[in-house]
Chains A and B, each alone.
Chain A
Amino acid sequence: EVQLVESGGGLVQPGGSLRLSCAASGISVTSNFMSWVRQAAGKGLEAVAVIYAGGSASYPDSVRGRFTISRDDSKNTVYLQMNSLRADDTAVYYCARGVFFGELSLDHWGQGTLVTVSS
Chain B
Amino acid sequence: EIVLTQSPATLSLSPGERATLSCRASQTVSRYLAWYQQKPGQAPRLLIYDTSNRATGIPARFSGSGSGTDFTLTISSLEPDDIAVYYCQQRTNWPPITFGQGTRLEI
Instruction: Write the residues of chain A forming the contact surface with B, with a CB cutoff of 8 angstroms.
Output: 35, 37, 44-47, 50, 58-60, 94, 96, 98-99, 101-107, 109-112
Contact = CB atoms under 8 A, between A and B. Distances in A.
Contacts of B98: 47
B49 A107 contact: yes
B50 A105 contact: yes
A109 B45 contact: yes
Interface of B: 30-32, 34, 36, 43-46, 49-50, 53, 55, 87, 89-91, 94-102
Nearest to A108: B46
A112 B32 CA distance: 26
Contacts, number: 72
Given A101-B50, A103-B50, A105-B34, A58 B95 contact: yes
B89 A105 contact: yes
Contacts of A37: 44, 97
Nearest to A103: B32
B91 A110 contact: no
B95 to A, nearest CB: 4
A107 B55 contact: yes
B102 A44 contact: yes
Given A45-B99, A102-B50, A111-B43, 18 more contacts: A37-B44, A44-B102, A45-B87, A45-B89, A46-B99, A47-B95, A50-B97, A101-B49, A101-B50, A102-B32, A103-B32, A104-B96, A105-B55, A105-B89, A106-B34, A106-B46, A107-B49, A110-B43
